[in-house]
Structure 1
Amino acid sequence: MTSPQTIREAIIAAPFELDNTGEIPRPGTLYIPPAHRKALSQEAVLVVGARGVGKSFWTAALGDNDLRRQLGGAVKELASTTIQIGHAAKSNSRAYPDRETFKGILAKGHDPYAVWRTVVARWLAAIVGESVTEDSWVSSVRWAENNPEQIARIVEKANQKLLQNNQSGLIVFDALDRTSDDWETMNHIVRDLLRVVLWLRDFSNLRAKVFLRPDQLERTVTTFVDASKLLATRADLTWERHDLHAMMWQRLINAPNEHGKCLRAVVCSVLPTTAKLNFQNDAWILPSVITSEHPHQRPLFESLAGDKMGKDARRGVPYVWSVSHLADGHGWTSPRSFLAAVSAAAEDSQRYTDYPLALHYESLKRGIQKASQIRVAQVAEDDPWVTEVMLPLKGSNVPREYDGIRSAWEEAFPQGSGSISTVHLPPQHAGSWEGVCKDLERLGVFVNRKDGRIDMPDLYRVGFGLGRKGGVKPKN
């Protein structure tokens, strides 16, 4: 029988990448939940997902030929699709302008619409061997504005070539919050991108896919003619509890060397005789019986963590608790948070040398602390204003009356909500503290309870240093 310590070491060695900068994922990390298959299909133009649910992950996977072939097993049309990344977190100045370049182009009087048409034109010109001015992005945009007929010919020619070759062309846009430092400009940029995306839909073999956060898909972004046609294609990146567990096991069975062998043996110990692990495209693949909660997935996790979050079941069940305590204010748990918690729990469990299971329930609680710290660090990077407004609340308890929260803010920011410092996008509704509170609710940091008090999910509460009676404690 494999020792708990050996299993812990194997979990720690598993490919639990938590990067969100668009690095190419490893083959063994690909797991496609049913809801994501629709999102990856060509017809899903608008793909909406909260922080950490996989927008940048899927963008990077779609942009890699080997991984795209692996994805093609679940989304057949991808096997015959030529894909270009039209914007992403990872810089690629040949394919699209970065934030400062974008800012400079707009400062010279060019519209975002012209910029995005230029990005598309550069991509399709390469497919058909046409020349487009590429001295700089400014000169390319100027050329595109002055040569609409030539762009039309390039697009038509590319569509025809793809049609003759029984292929499609797909251009993918992600990380659009990195295009500007103010909401009005970013909304303009996204709105004009969606107009270009709508234009591409006039061509049979050309499509675009735009990954957006929920707060980016504001009403003002879709206030143009025929925007409803794009809204009808919306797909949401969501993760059910069984999806998160299946994704975790997909990574565990692909741990390197003896670690992977160890974890594959753990999986095989609960499999029925009719199911087995398969090796294809340089990665081990989970059998379908492990992708749903019953009858095998839940007992499999219990073989690691048991069936109680304490000495009895009153404090919860690890299989459920490990996911529910990582949910944001909307009830969404991201794979990044779940993987961080499990990995941290495996490391922390090494202190319990006599414990008969790989994951100790107290270590799972500390895993929540680690996941919360990681999420808060990500928020500080994406929305630094959130960190600014949460600092005056550190050390207090939730749930809490809004008046008490506002008083803490007014003391910390005597010049008002408009004085919150930020190096990126500010709160959308920075004109009042009520607006800031609503923005925090929209991001899932705050939850408005039925009794009117403001609460916080553990995912943010712990990392921002707030307490709750009987809850997971913030890390000192």
Structure 2
Amino acid sequence: MKTAERKALLQHFAELRSDTESSPPAVKTFLPVAAHARALQREVVVVLGVKGAGKSALFRFATESPKDVTAMYGAEVPHATWLDGYSEKIPHPQAVALMDLVAADEGNDELLRSFWLVYLVNRLAENRQVAALVPAELQALWGNPDASPVAWAQGAASKSWQLTSALDRIEGFLAERKSLTFVAYDALDKLGDLQLAMRARFVRSLLALWLSLSNRYHWLRPKIFLRHDLFEAAQRSFPDATKLVARSQSLDWSVDDLFTLVARHLANNTGAAVQQARGWLKEVVGCELDAKGDLGFMPGRFDEDLRRHFGAALAGEVMGSGVKKGYTYRWIAARLQDADRRIVPRSLLRLLSFAAAAALGNVLAKGDALMRPTDLSGALARTSLDRGAELAEEVPLVSRLQRLEGLTLLLPRREVEVRLAKRAGPTDTFVEDGAAAIEELQRLGVLAIRPDGRVDVPDIYRYGYKIKRKGGVRKPR
């Protein structure tokens, strides 16, 4: 491969971004996987996923490109209209106003459920035909620009049967037209930047409302995109919440799905080298690309043999040396998985982007691989740092891992308990209990407990927090 060709391909790799980080919605890089198809079924209420698993990407794709959903999935998923019920894109009450609403609630979440109910009817009534089904006195609840969420909720609480009757009429309107409508909720983990306890109350009140409504309505259906930990907390906090488990779908990615997603991005991203990238995928890696018109090029599935070819073309057949030597494609997957063996698309795309950017600083002069193994291993530290930071932003407890910096794994459990007992800062509100911290971090997939009781940290978090492990691939200087 000529130096100019290698540089162009590396630049194309360096521009890899996740679907959530792209704007406008990246229809041509969105990959339809089996978990998505299951999540889009009528009976699924809650769509679960860890940070970076693609919840928001699926939300954006469905709400902003519903025709492409039908074109991409066909008969696999029901044809539906999508309504943005709550997200970062639409105006919604400020954090202070929402905190006032929580303060006004007496602890049984009645006002919070009323808030979500009136907010739902409000969003539905933005459709003119639907608005005609909603009495003027109800529209007045949100029609006053000076009204606060507390006023909304209190007004809704006194008119709950009128609101329910309005929803009944809307359901009848949709049923008559056989028009399935999904009301989708995203970014609930950022709801008003509230304290965790307050956010949990908003989430559980929304789930409780839709648990009731989903039993009542067939054509008006919810899709609530939510993190696992918020869903699990809700299950412990209100009666019948466990009934939602059977109506949930987790967005987990297989390794072949992840590599296929990378190929989809490479084949469809805009850029001067996109044609070259398609040629590299087809001729060097051996990946089939099927032209799908407006949906872009769709790669064939990446089985293990194809993943091996991809890894070899990327950075050579193997990483490391001696007893630590292993195939490149296996090294990538092993370094990016958490303690529960989950890998999120964002981490893989960032690893390859960071590695390519590093390789551009010292381009290989010969050979068939695009980069050196040390470019890939060096990018893992930045990828790990980003992954740890984005998870710590949502779960500040994760920041306590900084107290393990410089230590070499595996670690005695008692020593880790002592180091993780104290809070990491003002946003860390988890109890000051080292044993409880270990259990929570283990549940999040951030820590693992070996059979002998010692504590391990997966590489996707270990590198960023500068926790050591014996052996491995040599790091670049």
List aligned pairs for 1:75-224, cutoff 5 A. 76=75, 80-88=79-87, 90=88, 92-93=90-91, 96-109=92-105, 111-127=111-127, 128-129=130-131, 130=134, 131=136, 132=139, 133-134=141-142, 135=144, 136=147, 137-179=149-191, 181-201=194-214, 202-218=216-232, 221=235, 224=238
| Cα distance between partner residues in 1 of 2:433 and 2:305 | 51
- Structure 1 residue matching 2:181: 3-state secondary structure: strand
Q: Which residue of 2 aligns with 1:399?
A: 410
Deviates more, 1:370-379 or 1:170-179: 170-179
Q: Would the aligned equivalents of 2:59 and 2:184 in 1 still touch at CA under 8 Å?
A: yes
Deviates more, 1:131-140 or 1:257-266: 131-140
Q: Which residue of 1 aligns with 2:13?
A: 11
Q: Which residue of 1 aligns with 2:466?
A: 465
| Cα distance between partner residues in 2 of 1:164 and 1:235 | 29
Q: What letter corresponds to residue 100 of structure 2 in structure 1?
A: G
Asked if 1:422 is matched to 2:423, the reply is no
| Cα distance between partner residues in 2 of 1:60 and 1:316 | 38
Q: Would the aligned equivalents of 1:187 and 1:221 in 2 still touch at CA under 8 Å?
A: no
- Structure 2 residue matching 1:152: 3-state secondary structure: helix
Q: CA deviation at 1:440?
A: 1.5
- Structure 1 residue matching 2:90: 3-state secondary structure: coil
- Structure 1 residue matching 2:296: 3-state secondary structure: strand
Aligned sequence identity (%): 24
| Cα distance between partner residues in 2 of 1:406 and 1:474 | 30
What is the TM-score of this pair, normalised by structure 1?
0.87
- Structure 1 residue matching 2:73: 3-state secondary structure: coil
Alignment size in residue pairs: 454
List aligned pairs for 1:329-368, cutoff 5 A. 329-350=339-360, 351-356=362-367, 357-368=369-380
Q: Would the aligned equivalents of 1:369 and 1:474 in 2 still touch at CA under 8 Å?
A: no
Q: Would the aligned equivalents of 1:383 and 1:426 in 2 still touch at CA under 8 Å?
A: no
- Structure 2 residue matching 1:186: 3-state secondary structure: helix
| Cα distance between partner residues in 1 of 2:289 and 2:472 | 40
Q: CA deviation at 1:370?
A: 1.8
Q: CA deviation at 1:334?
A: 0.7
Q: What letter corresponds to residue 333 of structure 1 in structure 2?
A: I
Q: CA deviation at 1:318?
A: 1.3
Q: Which residue of 2 aligns with 1:434?
A: 435
Deviation string, structure 1 residues 123-163 (Cα, Å, up to 9, x no partner): 22233113422223333222211212321222122112222
Q: Would the aligned equivalents of 2:308 and 2:317 in 1 still touch at CA under 8 Å?
A: no
Q: CA deviation at 1:278?
A: 0.4
Q: CA deviation at 1:295?
A: 5.2
| Cα distance between partner residues in 1 of 2:269 and 2:23 | 19
Q: CA deviation at 1:369?
A: 1.3
Q: CA deviation at 1:346?
A: 1.2
Q: Which residue of 2 aligns with 1:413?
A: none
| Cα distance between partner residues in 1 of 2:221 and 2:283 | 45
Q: Which residue of 2 aligns with 1:447?
A: 448
| Cα distance between partner residues in 1 of 2:194 and 2:475 | 32
Q: Would the aligned equivalents of 1:291 and 1:297 in 2 still touch at CA under 8 Å?
A: no
| Cα distance between partner residues in 2 of 1:313 and 1:354 | 29
Q: Would the aligned equivalents of 1:47 and 1:236 in 2 still touch at CA under 8 Å?
A: yes
Q: Which residue of 2 aligns with 1:305?
A: 315
Q: Which residue of 1 aligns with 2:244?
A: 230
| Cα distance between partner residues in 1 of 2:200 and 2:15 | 42
Q: What letter corresponds to residue 434 of structure 2 in structure 1?
A: W
Q: CA deviation at 1:28?
A: 2.1
List aligned pairs for 1:278-289, cutoff 5 A. 278-281=291-294, 283-287=295-299
Q: What letter corresponds to residue 337 of structure 1 in structure 2?
A: S
| Cα distance between partner residues in 2 of 1:272 and 1:455 | 37
Deviates more, 1:433-442 or 1:338-347: 433-442
Q: Would the aligned equivalents of 1:307 and 1:318 in 2 still touch at CA under 8 Å?
A: yes
Q: Which residue of 2 aligns with 1:27?
A: 27
Q: CA deviation at 1:188?
A: 2.6
Q: Which residue of 2 aligns with 1:50?
A: 50
Q: Which residue of 2 aligns with 1:414?
A: none
